[in-house]
Amino acid sequence: VSDPIYDINKTYLENAEQGPFFSGVIPSRELSGQTYDFLGTKVNSRIGVFAGPLLNARWVKLAADLGYDTLVYKTIRSREHEGHPLPNIVYLDCPNPLDPGEKEPFLSRLDHTPQLESLAITNSFGMPSRSPAYLMKDIPEAENSLHRGQALIVSITGEDKQSFIEAALLAVRSGAKILEANFSCPNVSHAEGQLYLHSESCFQVAKAITGVIGERPLIVKVGAFCNAKDLLKVIIALKLAGVEAISGINTLPARPVPPLDLIRSSSGLCGAPIRSAGLEFISQARHILNHQGIPLTLIGGGGILLPEHFNEYFEAGADFAFTATGMMWNPLLAHHYHQMNPKRAYAHT
Ligand SMILES: Cc1cc2nc3c(=O)[nH]c(=O)nc-3n(C[C@H](O)[C@H](O)[C@H](O)COP(=O)(O)O)c2cc1C
């Protein structure tokens, strides 16, 4: 595994200001000429970067240059927010796939980088966010760094319905053309469980956002579901609220040993061990969408570290497939994918 483009020993702000740490050569890209409809924008391929690795316009530019075509700007809040101190990322020993039903397993920390195939990290940032003034300057720069056939999505979050609305309005004022709401965060209505697991709260918050963003498409980001019935209810709620796409999965909770610090006993696991949970989410969601005749766009990911993993997601039913950990530790992943799949067709249309 090469050194990641994100330095895990530096703070989030140091990475934002000094990174990305990519020392390779940007490969040239030959476009196939085929395009795909991504929520109204024509894009060159069906692969992209999840919310997380793209901290600001410079990170977006690198990902765009490297051939990732649908790029999510790291989740923003309506106000500046500092986030958690170091450590924000540690390697974990988790050789087997993690079952989302398993309650926050204890996983030993590793002090070396594992092989790419078994790369597992935990990330704990507390969703930091830059000031509105910074974002209103930086998001347009990120938009300007895209190549033809690429799309930028701005991810938002909030602590309650009102702050989701304010974050959405800030994204719109910053020029966002497509928004993603991160619902894999604490439930804003009941302070209990995660928002994405409560269909009524999903409806209320999503409807509030679609009410203020005009014609711009809204994606909702979710975590893993333990049963298909809950997923069905959430899909119906999101569709009724005017959402155009569902994206998953977010990290699975795990407990690093030793813990990150005295306050953070649990944090989100990503990389190889969550791929099977991500694929299961996509299979179930695709089944529901097809069975119910619901035309939502389906974005899948979790544990995509090698080019063939994108295709596993397409075969499971994803329309688009995104990576976070894979882009950071294997930045040429998109290039290798394009070389292997010059014209990957849609499997479901
Ligand atoms: C460094 C890092 C930061 C992340 N930050 C966010 C975030 O701000 N918002 C969000 O919705 N998900 C965030 N995630 C979760 C990813 O979007 C993704 O759902 C998860 O990591 C699974 O994909 P992966 O296995 O390809 O990493 C982050 C992940 C990583 C690795």
Segment 63-104, tens digit of pLDDT: 999 999 999 999 999 999 998 999 999 999 999 999 999 989
Q: How many CA atoms lie within 13 A of 179 on its CB side?
A: 32
pLDDT of res. 185: 81
Ligand 1 center from residue 237 Cα (angstroms): 24
Lowest mean pLDDT among 95-104, 114-123, 156-165, 183-192: 183-192
**Residue range 324-335: mean pLDDT, rounded:** 97
pTM: 0.97
Question: Which ranges constitute the DSSP H helices of the chain?
Answer: 12-18, 57-65, 132-144, 161-173, 199-210, 228-240, 275-292, 307-316, 325-329, 333-340
pLDDT of res. 73: 98
pLDDT of res. 1: 60
User: Is residue 224 over pLDDT 90?
Assistant: yes
pLDDT of res. 191: 64
Ligand 1 center from residue 33 Cα (angstroms): 30
From the CA of 88, give the closest atom in ligand 1. Answer: 1
Write down the mean pLDDT value for the chain: 94
What is the crossing angle of helices 228-240 and 275-292, to 10°?
A: 60
Ligand 1 center from residue 51 Cα (angstroms): 6
> Which positions are catalytic?
185
Residues with CB under 6 Å of ligand 1 are 50-53, 74-75, 123, 125, 127, 155, 182, 221, 250-251, 270-271, 274, 301-304, 323-326
In tens, the pLDDT along 255-289 reads 999 999 999 999 999 999 999 999 999 999 999 99
pLDDT of res. 349: 33
